[in-house]
Structure 1
Amino acid sequence: MSVHVVAELRALPGQEDRLLAILQGLVEPSLAEPGCLAYRPYVDPSDATRVAMIEEYADAAAIDAHFTSAHFQQAGKDFKGVLAEPPVIRRLVAE
């Protein structure tokens, strides 16, 4: 059963483009990971400071590998000074 991740992020005012650039930089290397089936940012059309990453993985092990990948770890460092609050990350499975 695949697992979805919804990560909700909020940029500091004026950092919207930087947040989106960091997230878009994660797409290609994340999709290249074994077990990553989908990985895409979505911007809230009524509030550009709010972005959601919608991700799909073959299983929990693929998510765990993603969270320890070098590109994900680097993004965590790049978020400093960009995010208004800590991200909210939800793991979801279909019933």
Structure 2
Amino acid sequence: MRPVTVVLLLRARPGSEDRLRTALEGMIEPSLDEPGCLAYQPYVDPNRPDRMAVYEEWRDEEALREHWRTPYFRHVAAVLPGILAEPMVLRRLVPADEGG
């Protein structure tokens, strides 16, 4: 069982930057409280405040799937389409020595 690392890349619609930041920041505490969450941290591009990323690390695939089933995740997932300028991108990462 290996940890799962994901990075979400998001771009807010013009004028929705604060709403996106608030939604992502609201996910920090409940995500970190989940037993399978090893890391959860949103980031903002200081030169492009409409561009944000979230770094997440989970104990395993099942922990990530459990996260996706939580009420707060489902709530944010339902609000994002009205905030984002384009669909978010989810990238799964592996250590460089394991990558192709």
Q: 2-side partners of 1:80 and 1:86: how far apart?
A: 8
Q: Which residue of 2 aligns with 1:80?
A: 81
Q: 1-side partners of 2:56 and 2:3: how far apart?
A: 10
Amino acid at match of 1:69: T
Is residue 32 of structure 1 aligned with residue 12 of structure 2? no
Which consecutive residues of structure 1, in runs of 5 or more, have no partner in the other structure?
A: none
Aligned structure 1 segments of 4 or more residues deviating by more than 6 angstroms: none
TM-score normalised over the length of structure 1: 0.94
TM-score normalised over the length of structure 2: 0.90
Q: 1-side partners of 2:86 and 2:71: how far apart?
A: 22
Q: 1-side partners of 2:82 and 2:31: how far apart?
A: 23
Q: Which is greater in Rg?
A: 2
Q: Over aligned residue pairs, what C-alpha RMSD do you find?
A: 0.9
Please give the secondary structure, in 2, of the residue aligned with 1:42: strand
Alignment of 1:1-95 (within 5 A): 1-94=2-95, 95=98
Amino acid at match of 1:35: G
Q: CA deviation at 1:79?
A: 1.4
Deviations 1:22-81 (A, max 9, x none): 000011111111210100100011110000000011111111111111110000112132
Q: CA deviation at 1:93?
A: 2.2
Q: 2-side partners of 1:61 and 1:93: how far apart?
A: 17
Q: 2-side partners of 1:80 and 1:57: how far apart?
A: 25
Which consecutive residues of structure 2, in runs of 5 or more, have no partner in the other structure?
A: none
Q: 1:2 touches 1:93 (CA, 8 Å); kept in 2?
A: no
Q: CA deviation at 1:92?
A: 1.6
